[in-house]
Structure 1
């Protein structure tokens, strides 16, 4: 029987392990947690560099090459959980606590100073969390304001066995605070709760990255909309057809400006995805109200939801304005094409009149040609009759010349008409091959007369 590796698809093991790739923290005691989210859009190499620096300086084994998540115990007592996401990476430090000096640096003691220096300018999220159990939990429940003293205290009963309190304020030390009270969590619920909380904070900040871009884009769209409105009004003015080419150039420039804003589409799309993750993590908390304070979901609906709606509306407005400019360009291009067709029609009519005049001139020249050719032929005939008379032949030159006038004129007319009919027949054959007959008649007939 073949080995399992032989039968499996090359990606089976990787895809199957994805469900277990980021396990929850297993916590059964009071812990202090510090969470960082690193966003380095211009320095994608920084995420792995930070992990390598931390492992090297703190004496931690290096992760496997290409790893996207890593958990390890450090010699300093804290546990590290590192995760590499598409746009950011997270560093979570967890340390057991046996004192009451909450929200201090116990979870990051021993982290090298040069690691923090390397982190400069890329820290998007920094949160301190305290999970309290037993006597510490009961004592902290009555003194929440001692640790969470922001303008608005947000809290709720969660997971049917605990409470969460926060104020979503960044304190002078650069951290936000979450106080979690274990009031009967089942196995591993405390670890899952802390992870959901710092994921809510991380995904919330990642979602809000689109908000500054949305505000700037809104101002750009206001300007483009005003320019488009002015151009459309100018298109409606009588006599503006002469400026269609310039209007088309201006509309094209507006289309280019709108298209240049499309580069932010990835940011807005990611923002929508992060928003869904935030709302999903909040739903997983199974919140129940604590009388007198808003829940996490209510607080998010007050400010986070309007910010996300702003991003969606700005992007929808961008798409609408782009389609309006495209329609305006199509309308103006249609008007330009109609004007060009009108000019071409006038030009062809002028060419037709020119060909008709040339045909009339040709007929007039043919009449003169008949008279001239007949005169030259009769002159030659008169010379011949005189020569024959000198040779004493019974011919009267004047009489013979007079009698020859009618036959000569009729013969010249017949030859001229035959030549013209042959030229017309050749022009008709040439036109049947896809060429213009108007120009052929006019330009072919003139050289014929010149030959005469």
Structure 2
């Protein structure tokens, strides 16, 4: 017995240790890497959960073809050095990212000559296009030297190929960060970073925050896409429920108001609302979480105003905050509408129960009336039966009396019949009463 208990304790301790190790590894799963000099960080984001191994298989085939060790399926994050560049794979709950990192180039000021030039890049960008998962976002971050003296918003619009640029100083230095928040001709969202003497280890953390900011920005907008897809349907349900509530109020005020048909329509609206909720609840909750992560990454950059440029916070505040507010409002509309449907359903069920109770009372009243009528009819039939049986009984007595010597006895036939009437009637009444008593006794049993 002690050996068995020891084995159970050992198994439990082993499971606890494995869990502790897993949780500890998660804290270090996506480590920062130093970034020296100028270069670029190109990230591709695929919408697929971390249980889908197709992207990992695709990456491992590429690594083996290039003489590198494949990535273990159990790893959430891995960085593989491939000579001129590094490949970085990250697996998240609902997306997987493949990134290429080039660093160590020399740039005094400005960006590298081939900045944002996909055609001349030595990175395997075309290979990524064949990944077995839908591409959600592509981010191209260029890291250059110090900011040029003549840097202007017009110049950055040309470099970024964007309709607008959001820019800031960051990191308590003269370093600049410029976001396009747009898609260029090659499908990339461009980001330019001018490094004014930030240390390699700190630059690695900064780059990580920047690419995560851009990744989670667009992931957060998926909630807005779900809102636009389902907003019209939710509006129709709100209109229908409002009409049902008005009709319900009118029916309740009527003595014989009927709500059965309204309840059928309300049930259909509740089913439609539940369908919308099932399609959007996870997406809206995820958008809220992604927005929080994005704001955390912005705070970590320690942004400062760059004269002449619109800031990143201001840009997102004017454009993204309304979208996120709409997502929150959509969630609140779902909750309020669900409560309204529940209240309306309760009222309809209460009204239906009252109608049923009223119908039951009327039915009982009608049954009582019919029972009284049947009792009166039964009593009438009993009296008629006594009279009829007495009549025939008196006739039989008359036949019997005719054969008797009534004249010798001094009796008359008519008097004999008359005397037989109450006796026969009493006997018939006793017989009927006995039969009724026997029937009632059987009913009680």
TM-score (normalised: structure 2): 0.84
Distance 1:117 1:51 in 2: 11
Distance 2:149 2:61 in 1: 39
1:223 aligns with 2:236: yes
Which deviates further from its counterpart, 379-388 or 27-36? 379-388
Query: Secondary structure of 1:289's partner?
Result: coil
Distance 1:350 1:384 in 2: 50
Output the aligned Cα RMSD: 3.1
Aligned residue in 1 for 2:138:
126
Aligned residue in 2 for 1:175:
188
Aligned residue in 1 for 2:5:
none
Q: 2:275 aligns with which of 260, 265, 276?
A: 260
Give 5+ residue unaligned stretches, structure 1.
Answer: 431-452
1:153 aligns with 2:162: no
Distance 1:240 1:232 in 2: 18
Check 1:312–1:107 CA distance in 2 against 1; reply closer, same or farther (3 A cut).
farther
Q: 2:292 aligns with which of 268, 271, 276?
A: 276
1:16 aligns with 2:24: yes
For the 8 Å contact 1:50–1:115, the answer to whether it is kept is no
Aligned residue in 1 for 2:87:
80
For the 8 Å contact 1:39–1:122, the answer to whether it is kept is yes
Aligned residue in 2 for 1:434:
none
State the Cα distance separating 1:317 from its structure 2 match: 0.8
Aligned residue in 1 for 2:222:
209
State the Cα distance separating 1:416 from its structure 2 match: 2.9
1:29-70 superposed Cα distances (whole Å, 9 cap, x missing partner) = 2222111111248x9454324323432444332111332211
State the Cα distance separating 1:288 from its structure 2 match: 1.9
For the 8 Å contact 2:118–2:186, the answer to whether it is kept is no
Check 1:387–1:51 CA distance in 2 against 1; reply closer, same or farther (3 A cut).
farther
For the 8 Å contact 2:161–2:184, the answer to whether it is kept is no
Distance 1:177 1:113 in 2: 18
What pairs with 1:307-346 in structure 2 (closer than 5 Å)?
307-346=323-362
Q: 1:188 aligns with which of 175, 198, 201?
A: 201
- The number of aligned residues is 420
1:70-125 superposed Cα distances (whole Å, 9 cap, x missing partner) = 110114x1011110111111111111223631233499625274442336x82222
For the 8 Å contact 2:165–2:179, the answer to whether it is kept is yes
TM-score (normalised: structure 1): 0.83
Which 4+ residue blocks in structure 1 deviate beyond 6 angstroms?
Answer: 2-5
Aligned residue in 2 for 1:94:
101
Check 1:52–1:395 CA distance in 2 against 1; reply closer, same or farther (3 A cut).
farther
Distance 1:240 1:323 in 2: 27
Distance 1:342 1:240 in 2: 10
Give 5+ residue unaligned stretches, structure 2.
Answer: 1-9
Aligned residue in 2 for 1:70:
78
Query: Secondary structure of 1:233's partner?
Result: helix
Query: Secondary structure of 2:366's partner?
Result: helix
Distance 1:4 1:251 in 2: 52
